[in-house]
Amino acid sequence: MDGVIPLNKEIGQTSSDYVYKLRKILHTRKIGHTGTLDPLVDGVLPICVGQATKLVNTLTGSPKEYAGEITIGRSTTTEDREGETVEEKKLSKPFANEELEQTFEQMTGDLKQIPPMFSAVRVNGKKLYEYARAGIEVERPVRQIHIYSFSMTSEPSFDETTGYQTIKFHVKCSKGTYVRTLAVEFGKLLGYPAFMSQLTRVKSAGFPIEETFTLGQIEEMMEKDDYHFLKSIDEVLKEVPSLELNDEQWDVRVSHGGFLEEKDVDSDKTKQLRVQRDGVTKALYKYDKVRNMWIPDLMLLNNK
């Protein structure tokens, strides 16, 4: 059983919970997820099975898309709705759409971000949330992220009683982005405390949420020996340029992890190359400028 499951994660469960449950359902231990989703976040969680577990790092590094909600007027310890209030500053009137849109635009492109204390980032061998629960604040590493797009998706709402304004958004971002922190930074640019009040991952590893399966659906399909929930490695990598290998390239070179000559490959040298044998993806190659050759980046399937 080799492939990727586009799973629809529910609120309240951890990514590791699903790996544990799927090992039992699929009767295999070779399973890994492609990027942790917080318990309060639902949506697309690609799960790699069998030989596809070799793709975990590749898929984890791909851009992701989220739909969520920012609440302005209050900040929390965890930067989401679960935390305790840190600061409250009521709005006397809502921000105009034009000012909100300008703020979204201001937060696109290359940005630097400091991970929240309540996160799984490790500092000196311990996870940040372990320090946070002990009431210890530590210096956190600054990371470079990229925001491809960040925009408002509907008319904002304003509660005159609480003085809070809520804005629904869509964001496409790079690996390592904390959307909770984006919400806090959004508020800071407007001069107000803010937190992320809702978040759903709507696309990951090329899978939109419309193509996902719930754990219950997967259990039912397994009982019927229906494996349509499992997407093949070829399907997952269909956007990666491919090369069908001839006998010499496969038997003499690729099957032994060898190089491919520049003259034999007509492909974009800035991108990975998916090498296939009889239409089946066997490995991912990358171009080496020093050697002027295509070299193995990831061997995927057994060399049969």
Positions annotated as catalytic residues are 38
What φ, ψ does residue 104 adopt, rounded to 5°?
-60, -45
In the chain, the DSSP E strands lie at: 3-9, 31-33, 42-49, 64-72, 74-76, 85-88, 109-113, 122-123, 126-127, 143-152, 157-159, 164-173, 194-204, 207-208, 242-244, 260-261, 273-277, 280-288, 293-299
Q: Cβ of 85: how many Cβ atoms within 10 Å?
A: 11
At 244, list the tokens.
């069908």
Q: What is the DSSP string of 32-43?
A: EESS---TT-EE
Instruction: Give the span between the Cα atoms of 168 and 68, in whole angstroms.
Output: 6
Q: Cβ of 99: how many Cβ atoms within 10 Å?
A: 11
